[in-house]
Amino acid sequence: MPRIDVHPVSLTAAARSIVAAAGAVTSVHGDFDGKTTGAAAAAPSPADAALADMCSAWSRALGQMAASLHGLARNTEAAAVVYESADRLPPPKPPAPPPEPQHSDPMFPWEVDPNDLKA
């Protein structure tokens, strides 16, 4: 199995970038939500109501995207911490070889084991 090469510093930098992106999405969500909140109440026609529904859906989507990005940033930072601590541990010992079989099975089941013929 090939070695997994992880750079915790790169993961930490990625987490910071994701936090910045999440902050930008949160800001857009706040601006969008603030500008479209009253649209549903002032929807006299079916077209206005449809537009208000679309704005509401976009607002929910932006909020969910911001929450997802914050979660991704937390998990990326947690991965950096775990990999950093794993790198400090000594390498594991290789597994022990399997035990030798107690008997030798004949190649064909009808073969007689010569040891069984000894009296």
Are the CB atoms for 25 and 69 separated by under 8 Å?
yes
Q: Tell me which residue of 29, 116, 10 sits closest to 67, measured CA to CA.
A: 29
How do residues 100-116 score in pLDDT, each as one tens digit? 766 666 566 666 667 77
Average pLDDT, stretch 63-88? 94
**Cα–Cα distance list, 100 to 34, 96, 97, 103, 114 (Å):** 73, 12, 9, 9, 20
Q: Is 114 helix (H, G, I), strand (E, B) or coil?
A: helix
pLDDT at 40 exceeding the cut of 60: no
How do residues 7-20 score in pLDDT, each as one tens digit? 999 999 999 999 99
The domain spans of the chain are: 47-89
Q: How far apart are CA 43 and CA 112, in angstroms?
A: 93
> And the tokens for 96?
């022990």
